[in-house]
Amino acid sequence: MGQQILNAIFIGSIYALFAVGYTLVFGVLDILNLAHSAVFTLGAAVTYTLVVNHGQSFWLACVVGILVAALMGLVIEYVCLRPLRRRRAPPIAALISTIGLALIIIAAIEQGRPGTLFAWLWVDGANPVTMPPGTFPNPTWHVAGLTLEGSKLAVIPISVVLMLVLGYVMRFTQVGRALRAVAENPRAARLMGIDVDRMIALTLIISSALGGLAGILFGVALGDISPYIGRDSVEVRGLAVIVLGGMGSIPGAVLGGYLLGLIEVLAVVLLGSNVRAGVAFAALFLMLVLRPQGFFGAQLREKV
């Protein structure tokens, strides 16, 4: 059972890290950035390619992976979101726009095979790959009947520290205050002299960097990197997490992530394995029915 708790904490950390990015964008912009799972995948893919196909050091590859993800955040803002904002398009247009970009990113990775246009990005096509052993330090300890794996354990402090840092920034810094102001009321924020567009771009950058990092940690610790890890592992679960935790609430996303990890693993242990995915959505459904604003979400007000 102890081992299962460890499994839950690990996957919960990934979900939490991923969902924080989701909820940040939702809180500030009131839209769901559905390219987030593609950025998750891209971070992992870039890191893998740099190590395996371009012979770079693992740590450098990770940094570059995060930077590429952050850059993709800017692309999302400038290509998908800003033009629609200028035209005062309804939020659903932005949603679809991000879906479109996600499809493009994933297709680019999927097409990557030796000799093709995208071979610099990825050469394994649709196949799952794993980091070669020895690429990064991954000691394994056996303590009290539990197996502790370095790469999985490392995810926990990294996630926790990042979430704390983000929380601090949001609460106690000028930038954080500006972001919260934009989240509250963009028009009033603009009147207060805040450069709203810049704040939105910053939000996307931070969110995507977190998403990319989550992808890297996931791919490295689980030994599974493919164009589909975003779609299969976190895309829809991320939505479940932010609904559970309250859309727009960062502590909510963190709590929701760990909760979902725990629920899923307990479902496997107690109910048998076929129900793992179903359980996530049952929890989501239950939350929507009982408390639609999630744990920490603001009470929904009627928009007149």
Partner 1 sequence: MRRLRLGSVLVAAIIAAACGSAGGGGTNGNSYAGKTIKLGAVLSITGAGGVYGPQSRDGMNLAVEQINKAGGVNGAQISLIVADDASLQAQSAQVAQTMIQSDQDLALLGPTLSNSAVAVHPLAENQKIPILAVSTTGINIVPNCNFPSTVACRYVFRDSLGEETAIPDNIQSYASDAHPATGVLLVAQDDKFSSDGGKIVQATVSKYNINLLKTISFGKNEADLSPYVTTAVGLHPDVIFITSLGGIPAKIMIEARKQGWQGQFLGGNGFNTATVSKNAGAAGMGARSASAWYLGNSFPSNAEFVTAFKTAYGHDPDQFAAQGYTGINVIADAAKRANLTFSDLAGDRDKLRAAMETVNIQSPLGPFQFTSTHDVKQTVWVIKMDGAGGFTLVHEIKPS
What residue ranges bind partner 1 (CB under 8 A)?
3-4, 7-8, 10-11, 110, 125-128, 130, 133, 140, 142, 147, 149, 218, 222-224, 228-229, 232-233, 264-265, 268-269, 273-274, 276-277
Nearest to 259 by CA among 74, 24, 11: 11
Nearer CB in complex with partner 1: 77/264: 264
Look up tokens 């299969």; give the residue.
232
CB of 172 to partner 1, least distance (A): 35
CA atoms within 13 A on the CB side of 202: 18
CB of 46 to partner 1, least distance (A): 18
Nearer CB in complex with partner 1: 180/276: 276
- For residues 81 and 74, the answer to whether their CB atoms sit within 8 Å is no
Nearer CB in complex with partner 1: 95/268: 268
How many other CB atoms are there within 10 angstroms of residue 97's CB atom? 21
Nearer CB in complex with partner 1: 91/128: 128
Q: Which residues pair with 129 in a beta bridge?
A: 225
CB of 294 to partner 1, least distance (A): 24
Q: How far apart are CA 127 and CA 144, in angstroms?
A: 37
Tokens of residue 271, six digits: 């109910």
Query: CA triplet 198, 293, 266: central angle to 5 degrees?
Result: 105
CB of 75 to partner 1, least distance (A): 25
Nearer CB in complex with partner 1: 4/185: 4
Q: DSSP for 18-33, please give it.
A: HHHHHHHHHHHHSS--
CB of 122 to partner 1, least distance (A): 12
CB of 276 to partner 1, least distance (A): 7
CA atoms within 13 A on the CB side of 291: 12
Tokens of residue 165, six digits: 């840092």
Left if phi > 0, otherwise alpha if psi is -120 to 50, otherwise beta: which for 63?
alpha
Nearer CB in complex with partner 1: 262/288: 262
Nearer CB in complex with partner 1: 55/139: 139
CB of 229 to partner 1, least distance (A): 5
